[in-house]
Amino acid sequence: MKDHVKELKVLDLKNNTNIFDGELQFIIPLYQRAYAWEDKQLVQLLEDVNDIEEREKYYIGSLIVSNTGEKLEVIDGQQRLTSLYLLLNCLGIDTKHSLSFACRKKSNYTLEHIHEVINETDGDLEGEMLQDNIKTGIKILKENIERKDFDKNKFIEKLSRVILYQIEVPENTDMNRYFEIMNTRGEQLEQHDILKAKLMDYLGDNAEMEKEMFSIIWDACSDMDGYVQMHFISKNNVVRKELFGDSWNDIPIDTLRNYSMRIIPQLGKKQNSQAHKITEIIDPNFKTEEEEGYNENDERVRFESIINFPYFLLHVLKVFIWEKEITHQNPNKKIMDDLLDDKKLITSFNNVIENGIQKGQPIKNDRKKFVRDFTICLLQTRVLFDEYIIKREYANNSNDGEWSLKTLYVSGQGSQKKPYFKNSTFTRVGEWDKTNRNRCKTNIMLESALRVSYTSPKVMHWITSLLSWLTEVCLNKDGKINEHIAAYSEIIEQEAIDEVKNFFKIDNCLNLGVNTPHIILNYLDYLIWERDKNSDRKYEDFTFEFRNSVEHWYPQNPSKGTFDEWDQVDRFGNLCLLQRNINSQFSNIAPDSKKGTYKNQIEKGSLKLRVMAERTSTPQNWRDFECAELEEEMVELLKSKITEQE
């Protein structure tokens, strides 16, 4: 078997070789899907490499191949392999043309001309033969590699410590059948599953009820879609009522031990939270306790979280550290890394437990207390997360979701209670419903601007900040939640304003081109929306979307002979955010041509793009004065927020 498993170095600096310098060519068979990695996966790849510790090897996964003697047919791992091929070339590292796709001419043509695509000298190529997804992948990688905070040399050194396992399947294997099995195999045990078992063990051998209660809470919180209250399914709503009250939306404030003693006996010794008797199930009138939720228009709704459970656990741990004032036993060390990293979930918890100090006492001296306290913090934070951190909401069977901030309520009495969702409350006592609608809309716009700006969950620090503030207001303040929650929009907006302050501290910040932080352009869209929302130019149709590509309105490389190049294309006034598919359509045509040709896309685009189109007359005028005038106006809009705080 050893002969069938090899460690492949992605990059060997000593011998000046890489994974694509082998004797055999990698070929992607036709039964594999086309290349499909986008922002999420590619940015994650770059972050994973950047996070490699000094002198540490990083095993990036496996590559399963069939060795035909003439080529290596890739059965599993082709998306990662293709991305590594693009990455090496974007870094300027020469590779052999040893990767190809079976029966995919456009993909192969693009890989054969990868240098022209990377260097944007592909004007003489057959444009219709270039594969869009591969071009998009190259653009994403280039944008990140060319950022000012990206240390290319350091990254390449770390990449040289990345290992890929190449596993050869036995001869005469049915490749199609093997591929089918590989793509329907069961999931491996996740880190949060291991962490759950570890924390339960800390509760001790004589704490069966607490362990069961811990498991019920953990499992309910682990389902990040929907509202946590609805994941507590039990006969007669025993668990839901005990934890959240008759209204189902109280914040739990009791201890794990007390909840265990009240709830577990009611569930029965051998009865889990969802158990029903056979005689009940076969009854014609039987129905489960879980009910569908409805919005105020009486439409069935479902919700989708913006982060997964491992990342939520890391946010909760940070909130817990802040709330309990936990510090590292070594004053010179941080109790937890700034960067959120789901690969270090267990390590993060171990570090807090083994090295944390709370009120002068080492946490490791009473691990049971840590678990008890953290479990309640987990549940409390999840309730706050559901109520005050945006979700995607889908009505009926629609796939077109929208951003929402909703709170769970119930109507009816006793067993007839039905869940429904309406806007979360952000008003002081005595204020009008219209005030709440306006504040709720403002908060949705601000949070969604943050969400689409920070696409990687590793850097969504704004969630931790908001959850910490909410914990203080809703649990530790003077009980006047309404008086404090009315200021929530100011707390959210501060996250963006802090980034604006940092932006203007950057040298030559108004000429960063594609390196301009997305949060600046998204927050600028928010400011335009806020400024014009009560005017004739209000943008009621505008919503924040994943516009992840910084576009030059006046193009970097004008179409040959059509109009002049401009040496100021990277200036702030000439930039906006676009979806990548629209960016590829915009091509290298002049601003006035874009304005006429892509009217529909512009009308649905970012607000800065819409304003740019409105202000554009001719390419010459845009260069001479229109761009400068718009830039001055937009910069003043950003700086006005800083001035308000001075």
pLDDT digits (tens, 9 = 90+) for 590-643: 899 899 888 888 988 999 999 999 999 999 999 999 999 999 999 999 999 988
Token pair for 458:
């590793």
Token pair for 257:
């031990």
Sequence-distant contacts of 267-274: CB under 8 A, at least 24 apart: 267/234, 267/238, 267/239, 273/216, 273/232, 273/233, 273/234, 273/239, 274/233, 274/234
- Tell me the HSE value of 376 on the side-chain side, using a 13 A CA sphere: 21
Alpha helices (H) in 5-161, listed in sequence order = 39-50, 78-90, 105-112, 114-118, 132-145, 152-159
User: From start to end of 93-223, where are the E strands?
Assistant: 99-101, 162-168
Token pair for 233:
């399914």
Burial pattern 159-181, b for ≥16 Cβ within 10 A else e, equals: bebbebebebbeeeeeeeebbee
Token pair for 140:
């994403």
Question: Cα(549)–Cα(514) distance, rounded to whole angstroms?
Answer: 8
Token pair for 32:
């594999």
| Nearest Cα to Cα of residue 407 among 492, 311, 481 | 481
Token pair for 445:
């716009």
Q: In the sheet that 361-362 helps form, which strands lie side by side, from edge to edge?
A: 327-328, 356-358, 361-362
**pLDDT tens readout for residues 173-223:** 665 555 555 555 444 567 888 899 899 999 988 889 999 999 999 999 999
Give CA 309 to chain center in angstroms: 12
**pLDDT tens readout for residues 524-556:** 999 999 999 888 877 888 999 999 889 899 998
C-alpha angle 503/505/509, rounded to 5°?
60
Question: Cα(217)–Cα(506) distance, rounded to whole angstroms?
Answer: 45
| Nearest Cα to Cα of residue 349 among 188, 190, 194, 189 | 194
Give the pLDDT of residue 4: 66
**Sign of the dihedral defined by the CA atoms of residues 551, 606, 510, 446, in that order:** negative
φ, ψ dihedrals at 533, nearest 5°: -65, -20
φ, ψ dihedrals at 379, nearest 5°: -70, -45
φ, ψ dihedrals at 168, nearest 5°: -95, 130
Give the pLDDT of residue 272: 45
One-letter amino acid at 641 equals K
Question: Cα(577)–Cα(343) distance, rounded to whole angstroms?
Answer: 31
Max Cα–Cα distance, the chain, nearest Å: 82
Low-confidence ranges of the chain (pLDDT < 70): 1-4, 122-124, 127, 172-189, 268-292, 414-415, 479, 561, 581, 583-585, 646
Query: What percent of the chain is helix, strand and coil (3-state, nearest 5)?
Result: 50, 15, 35
Give the pLDDT of residue 2: 43
Give the pLDDT of residue 183: 54
Give the pLDDT of residue 614: 94
